[in-house]
């Protein structure tokens, strides 16, 4: 499995080879530092970050992934200067206005996770439009985490469950992991197999905390605008070389082969 992906381009028509993750989450970090290191304003880093996102979506289609979740704006990102927040909102609008039809033509199904209430009505409208237009598509599932926070998502899920218990619609004993997961924004979406973060930071920053329980992590030193198909393929190859155990033992362990 090791290195398989980087040795051979995988065509969209191929069935997903073993070792290729079904769901990849990406924490697109480092736009500001990319720009600062070139003496450019942060917005320029975000613009180039949008280019990198376009490339990542194309690559995800070609690599045969089922789901790509991209962390675009966290609930904590509101604490940035007003101007930067406005730039980031503007870029999301630009992405949907310019790219939605291309995504639709590529059979991509768009889903947006995160809190909608705090967003401007025109942005909310665009998000609904993107989901509605691509609802019946059967290709890559592109999940955009925008105004997303995992703690807020988990707290909101707990709140709806408490309301249902209080109203007598469910019993406390109905609540198990699977039941809880159905109340998250990602209900029905398989957990991410792999989470990639650029910029050298090694943290989740409130991204998919419930869903990442058994995800593999690949941290890349490059900033997000430099993330290209080659870097993506290398991260997938690294994933392919990992041994996932989910708390159990591997077949080799069971046979005593891995023990001395």
Contact flag: residue 26 with Mg ion (CB under 5 A)? no
Contact flag: residue 197 with Mg ion (CB under 5 A)? no
Size of the site for Mg ion (CB under 5 A): 1
Contact flag: residue 32 with ligand IPE (CB under 6 A)? yes
* Active-site pick, 7, 14, 29, 105: 29
Q: Is 77 a catalytic residue?
A: yes
Q: In what order do the strands lie in the sheet with 67-74?
A: 109-113, 141-148, 67-74, 23-27, 194-197, 216-219
Q: Toward ligand IPE, which CB reaches closer, 27 or 56?
A: 27
CA atoms of 61 and 66, how far apart (whole Å): 8
Contact range with Mg ion by CB under 5 A, out of 2-10, 14-22, 29-37, 121-129? 29-37
Contact flag: residue 115 with ligand IPE (CB under 6 A)? no
Name the nearest CA neighbour of 52 among 75, 68, 74.
68
Binding-site member from 201, 212, 228, 234 for ligand IPE (CB under 6 A)? 201
- The sign of the torsion formed by the CA atoms of 22, 25, 30, 32 equals positive
DSSP label at residue 12: T
Q: Is 31 a catalytic residue?
A: no
Contact flag: residue 211 with ligand IPE (CB under 6 A)? no
* Longest CA span, the chain: 63
Beta bridge partners of 27: 71, 197
Which tokens is 78 given?
Answer: 């509101």
Residue 33 interacting entry, from ligand IPE, Mg ion, none, C-beta within 5 to 8 Å by type: ligand IPE
Which residues make up the interface to ligand IPE (CB under 6 A)?
Answer: 27-33, 71-74, 77, 88, 199, 201, 203, 205, 224
Residues taking part in catalysis: 29, 77
């Amino acid at each position: 499995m090791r290195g398989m992906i980087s040795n051979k381009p995988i065509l969209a028509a191929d069935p997903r080879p073993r070792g290729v993750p079904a769901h990849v989450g990406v924490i697109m970090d480092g736009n500001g530092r990319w720009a600062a290191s070139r003496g450019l304003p942060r917005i320029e880093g975000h613009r180039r970050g949008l280019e990198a996102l376009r490339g990542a979506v194309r690559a995800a289609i070609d690599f045969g992934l089922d789901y790509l979740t991209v962390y675009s704006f966290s609930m904590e990102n509101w604490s940035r200067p007003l101007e930067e927040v406005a730039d980031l909102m503007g870029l999301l609008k630009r992405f949907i206005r310019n790219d939605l039809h291309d995504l639709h033509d590529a059979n991509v199904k768009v889903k947006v996770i995160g809190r909608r209430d705090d967003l401007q009505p025109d942005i909310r409208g665009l998000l609904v439009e993107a989901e509605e237009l691509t609802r019946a598509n059967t290709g890559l599932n592109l999940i955009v985490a925008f105004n997303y926070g995992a703690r807020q998502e988990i707290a909101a899920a707990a709140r709806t469950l408490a309301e249902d218990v209080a109203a007598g619609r469910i019993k406390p004993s109905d609540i198990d992991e699977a039941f809880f997961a159905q109340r998250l924004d990602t209900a029905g979406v398989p957990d991410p197999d792999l989470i990639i973060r650029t910029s050298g930071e090694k943290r989740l920053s409130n991204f998919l905390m419930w869903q990442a329980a058994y995800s593999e992590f690949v941290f890349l030193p490059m900033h997000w605008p430099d993330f290209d198909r080659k870097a993506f393929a290398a991260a997938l190859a690294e994933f392919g070389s990992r041994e996932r155990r989910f708390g159990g033992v591997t077949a080799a362990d069971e046979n005593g082969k891995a023990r001395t």
